[in-house]
Amino acid sequence: MSGKGAGIAVALIGAGAAIIAALITSDAPICPDFICGPDKATAQDRPSGGSGGKQIIKVPGGAAGVEITPTEITCTAEGGCDSDVRIESVGDATLKVTYMEVTGEGRAHFSKDGGCERKNLAPGVVCSFGVTFTPPSDGAAVQATLVIHHNVGAHPTRVTLKGEASNVPTEAPPSEFPTDG
């Protein structure tokens, strides 16, 4: 490729990156009309990090939509998890929650009740369920992801799960009484 051709390629790549960044940071369609057609998913009120937040996915044209809150749950050994997960059908059609799974390195320390799994939620209906945390015996902090599969958009929705195990004794305190050896 010539130097001029390489310069044009770099300019096109930069322009494409700018367009993608604009779509990610706005309420613009995730997939433009010229790629997906008029019934495309949009994401609104994207999470800005930290605990809380919500994720909304809607597909225009009378389709299902989903709002899931929060985007992150923090759990401790002493206090349990700070929130339940709330799924709301916000579209014009039935939201189908097909299944949920916990993935990631710390997945063995988190579980969810199946209260919303394999549910069909009419528009406006809310379903909530709890997450439980079993701290690791070594007291380490762990993280996993709750993946909620549904019929809205091309991808499932994810909720970050953080577990903080604290106050785990490392060794027994010395006894003031003599021990027989």
- CB–CB of 90/56 below 8 Å? yes
The pLDDT score that the predictor gives to residue 98 is: 95
List 160's β-bridge partners, or say none. Answer: 72, 145
Amino acid at 68: I
Q: Average pLDDT in the 5-21 region?
A: 44
* pLDDT at position 43: 43
Q: Which of 116, 79, 122 is nearest to 101 (CA)?
A: 116
The pLDDT tens digits of the residues spanning 140-178 come to 999 999 999 999 988 999 999 999 987 555 555 566 666
24 — pLDDT class (breaks 50, 70, 90): very low
DSSP code at position 107: G
* pLDDT value for 116: 94
Provide the edge-to-edge strand list for the sheet that holds 65-69.
42-44, 55-58, 65-69, 85-89, 126-129
The dihedral of CA 147, 149, 150, 153: what is its sign?
A: positive
What DSSP letter does each residue of 131-169 carry, written as one string? EEE---TT---EEEEEEEEESSSSS-EEEEEEEE-----
In this prediction, residue 21 carries a pLDDT of: 36
Could you report the per-residue pLDDT of 32-84, keeping only the tens digit for each? 333 333 343 444 433 333 456 777 776 666 799 999 999 999 999 888 999 99
At 85-119, the pLDDT tens digits run 999 999 999 999 999 999 999 999 999 987 899 99
Question: Distance between CA 95 and CA 122 in Å, rounded?
Answer: 6
